[in-house]
Amino acid sequence: MTTREAKINLMGLSLPKMQAFFLELGEKPFRASQTLKWIHQRGVTDIDAMTDISKPLREKMKSVAEIRLPQITQEFRSADGSCKWIVQVESDSSVEMVFIPEAGRGTLCISSQAGCSLDCSFCATGKQGFNSNLTVAEIIGQLWWANQKLAGFGVKPAQEWSEDGKPAQNPRPVSNVVMMGMGEPLLNFENVMDALSLMMEDQAYGLSKRRVTISTSGVVPAIDRLKDFTDASLAVSLHAPNDELRNELVPINKKYPIKELLRSVSGYMEGLSDRRVPVIEYTLIAGVNDHRQHARELAVLLKDFPCKINLIPFNPFSLSDYRRPSSSSVSNFRQILHEAGYTVTVRTTRADDIGAACGQLVGEVGDNTRRSQRYRDAAEAQKGNEQEFAVEQRSETAAEVTGKRFSRADNLAIEIDRPRRPSV
Ligand code: SAH
Ligand code: SF4
């Protein structure tokens, strides 16, 4: 007999995998599109509700498959319309997703991993260490849930018209997805690629490639492979204008330095069929990477690299001694880049009221002094350690991670369309 655990989760099957599933059952591949529409467009999680599929076939499907979603354990709604949900995943840890409504679009920031192995010095998720890769169902399930929840709140579809001026197919509250929640999406490559394909699949969510953004800290070999799997938009977490500083902030830079990273990103962008440019993300940390000289250096670094720049004022959290820069230093930094010819956006802080709840969630972890001490010890030990950085996903024990919830700012001031002409 098939056990519950052994059943295939249809929530996580991309179109080709769903087709293979039906072929395996001895059925026609068109059943795959039907099933995707039921799950992702009509929000059905009960195979018996798929009324255009015959009862015998539904029985056959049920004997080997089911539709399983991650659980939402907490919900926060801001007065400005933003929402945040805490999502429990199968590894028994929690991740978060955030919805930010803006004029003409609704952006969902989703997570790809519980925790992250890359340990960027300014990132709460990095302090947690790595716990698990989310499954395809857990990644796409975030989008499924957000659309259901938002529709339930009466949130209207944000995108009534597609880019070619035709009415959008199946418009829903979430019109844009950014993979900027917890985790490094390119270290959960296969699952993220399948989830992206569902986001962009007409039979599922039908989001355009301009409206789905992968954010990466720079896993170069994965960026090099990306074009064979997707044509989603790309955001690159740079955070520093030179290798010396970036090595400190984004340790993966020791393995894949800036020059290699920019070369790899250019390769991906050049392979796209349109003239999209990547977004360079730059978290501004007071006294660390926010000097005028850094802005000038960044302008020179990127002069032959078509891109847009998104400045993100650092969001403080309890395990970090870094500070948020003053608004004048953010605006000076922005001005220097702007004068150099770049299109620059600055992340505006949204959802202050649920941001307070967000701080409390970080606090849960901040109170874990044993962990925070361990982190400091590890940081000290690392200083004297000249070993080459390796992209390893260090896993904490379930007991260490279970029930801990992390939170981070919503870095969603992302627009990816107009190229810029630098004049440096
Ligand atoms: N791992 C991927 C995607 C998740 S992080 C990446 O690094 O790109 C998404 C963004 O959140 C990154 O650009 C990172 O710079 C930003 N971020 C992380 N911690 C932050 C903090 N404390 N304040 C502001 N931005 C932060
Ligand atoms: Fe991981 Fe991104 Fe955080 Fe770095 S910034 S630790 S890559 S989630």
Q: Is the pLDDT of residue 234 over 50?
A: yes
Residue 28 neighbours by CB under 8 Å, 6+ apart: 22
Which has more confidence, 240 or 154? 240
Which has more confidence, 405 or 22? 22
Pocket test for ligand 1, best of 123, 133, 220, 253 (most atoms within 8 A of CB): 123
Measuring from atom 22 of ligand 1, which residue has the nearest CA?
Answer: 315
Find the 180 Cα to ligand 1 centroid distance in Å.
7
Q: If 0-12 CB within 10 Å is exposed, 13-18 middle and 19+ buried, where does residue 50 land?
A: buried
Please give, one letter per residue, the 3-state secondary structure of 296-319: HHHHHHCCCCCCEEEEEECCCCCC
Q: Please report, for residues 9, 32, 35, 207, 330, the alpha-carbon distance to residue 18 in angstroms, rounded to integers and kept in the order given.
A: 10, 5, 8, 19, 48
Dihedral sign for Cα atoms in the order 301, 252, 179, 84: negative
Find the 79 Cα to ligand 2 centroid distance in Å.
28
33-47, 157-171, 268-282: which has the minimum mean pLDDT? Answer: 157-171
60-69, 106-115, 388-397: which has the minimum mean pLDDT? Answer: 388-397
State the Cα–Cα distance between residues 97 and 410, nearest whole angstrom: 9
9-13, 64-68, 93-97: which has the minimum mean pLDDT? Answer: 93-97
Q: What is the pTM of this model?
A: 0.86
Question: What is the percent of the chain where pLDDT is above 70?
Answer: 78
Q: What's the pLDDT at 165?
A: 60
Residue 103 neighbours by CB under 8 Å, 6+ apart: none
Pocket test for ligand 1, best of 187, 311, 408, 412 (most atoms within 8 A of CB): 408
State the Cα–Cα distance between residues 205 and 195, nearest whole angstrom: 11
pLDDT bucket at 382, cuts 50 / 70 / 90 = very low
State the Cα–Cα distance between residues 80 and 113, nearest whole angstrom: 28
Q: Is the pLDDT of residue 119 over 90?
A: yes
| Nearest atom in ligand 2 to 183's CA | 8
Catalytic residues: 96, 358
Burial 200-225, CB ≥16 within 10 A → b, else e = bbebbbbbbbbbbbbbbbbbbebbeb
DSSP conformation letters of 140-158: HHHHHHHHHHHHHTTPPPS
DSSP conformation letters of 65-80: EE---PEEEEEEE-TT
pLDDT in tens, 407-418: 333 333 333 233
Cβ atoms of 328 and 335 within 8 Å: the answer is no
DSSP conformation letters of 48-59: GG-TTS-HHHHH
Measuring from atom 10 of ligand 1, which residue has the nearest CA?
Answer: 180
The first and second tokens of residue 64, run together, are 């080997």
The first and second tokens of residue 368, run together, are 């874990």
Q: What's the pLDDT at 342?
A: 98
Find the 47 Cα to ligand 1 centroid distance in Å.
38
